[in-house]
């Protein structure tokens, strides 16, 4: 049986990944499916941190168009990520593992506020870490939060679970001749202007030498397969 290639990983789960086939919000069966994969990884001794997005509920840029200012919209988006984090945390605990939700914005009635020393302690104690509210700053994304927390928590890899099964030479929806990369260096991705993650996230991962694996969340067991190196996806590294 395949063995994990990494001991400590950060998984970025977009909000959209949590809504399943519904157009909005949380699909409990999808949340449970993802939680079970996290639990499988824990059973293999892998330490798992999660950063969740909020796009299934709210995105700052969407409201900016309706007259609410962008920063306010972004704070609303960050609140959406907290709801997703709570749902994932509850599901992971229901399936028998302990999870700790930490928010970049203070909301002590609901969850702990992010503190790196505390987060490292929880992590060392074997809890699944779930980082909510992104970076805590408007004008950023949860991709950037994922790269930031991966660096802070000394994760060996950033797993970007998304809607596509990797990085392509062109948009596969528009260009039928688009090819998927199995491997790609940070420099090649930059030189070819390939969108792996947003620029801030990409720069953080590159500077800290944290490889990124881009893969589809829609494939069954794709998170586990990415950690084992047996899945379909693109590895972006040094």
- Residue ranges of the annotated binding site for ATP are 12-15, 55, 59, 162-163, 168, 171
55 binds ligand UDP (CB under 6 A): yes
Give the residue with the Cβ less far from ligand UDP, 14 or 91.
Answer: 14
Structure tokens at 104: 């970049």
CB atoms within 10 A of CB 98: 13
By CB under 6 A, name the one of 38, 54, 161, 222 that touches ligand UDP: 54
Q: Smallest Cα–Cα separation from 80: which of 52, 114, 112, 38? A: 52
Q: Is the Cβ of residue 149 or residue 206 nearer to ligand UDP in the bound state? A: 149
Q: Which of 49, 100, 134, 189 binds ligand UDP (CB under 6 A)?
A: 134
Helix (H/G/I), strand (E/B), else coil: 212: strand
Nearest distance from residue 172's CB to ligand UDP, in Å? 19
142 binds ligand UDP (CB under 6 A): yes
Inter-residue contact 60 to 70 (CB < 8 Å): yes
Confirm or reject binding of residue 11 to ligand UDP (CB under 6 A). Answer: no
147 or 228, CB closer to ligand UDP?
Answer: 147
Q: Does 233 bind ligand UDP (CB under 6 A)?
A: no
Query: Shortest gap between Cβ of 76 and ligand UDP (angstroms)?
Result: 7
By beta-carbon proximity to ligand UDP, the closer residue of 49 and 80 is 80
Piece of the chain touching ligand UDP by CB under 6 A; list 42-50, 110-118, 133-141, 179-187 = 133-141
172 touches 29 (CB < 8 A): no
Q: Does 53 bind ligand UDP (CB under 6 A)?
A: yes
Q: Which of 37, 74, 97, 165 binds ligand UDP (CB under 6 A)?
A: 74
162 near ligand UDP, judged by CB under 6 A: no
Element containing residue 201 per DSSP (H, E):
helix 199-207
For ligand UDP, the closer CB: 15 or 166: 15
Where is 161: in which H helix or E strand?
strand 157-162
Taking the C-alpha atoms of residue 225 and residue 166, their distance in angstroms, rounded to an integer, is 14
Closer to ligand UDP by Cβ: residue 62 or 169: 62
Residue 83 engages ligand UDP in binding (rule: CB under 6 A):
no
């Amino acid at each position: 049986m395949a063995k994990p290639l990494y001991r400590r990983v950060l998984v970025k789960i977009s909000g959209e990944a949590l809504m399943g086939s519904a157009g909005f919000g949380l699909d409990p069966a999808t949340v449970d499916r993802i939680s079970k994969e996290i639990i499988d990884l824990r059973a293999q001794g892998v330490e798992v941190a999660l950063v969740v997005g909020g796009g299934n509920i709210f995105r700052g840029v969407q409201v900016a168009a309706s007259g609410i200012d962008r920063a306010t919209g972004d704070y609303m988006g960050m609140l959406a990520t907290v709801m997703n984090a709570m749902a994932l945390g509850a599901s992971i605990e229901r399936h028998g593992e302990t999870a700790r939700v930490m928010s970049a914005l203070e909301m002590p009635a609901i969850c702990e506020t992010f503190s790196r020393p505390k987060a490292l302690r929880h992590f060392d104690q074997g809890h699944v870490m779930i980082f909510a509210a992104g970076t805590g700053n408007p004008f950023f994304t949860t991709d950037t939060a994922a790269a930031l927390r991966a660096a802070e928590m000394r994760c060996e890899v950033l797993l970007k679970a998304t809607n596509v099964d990797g990085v392509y030479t062109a948009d596969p929806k528009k260009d039928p001749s688009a090819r998927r990369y199995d491997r790609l260096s940070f420099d090649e991705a930059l030189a070819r202007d390939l969108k792996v993650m947003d620029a801030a996230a990409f720069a953080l991962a590159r500077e800290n030498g944290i490889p990124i694996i881009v893969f589809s969340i829609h494939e069954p067991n794709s998170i586990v397969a990415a950690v084992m190196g047996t899945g379909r996806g693109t590895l972006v590294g040094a």
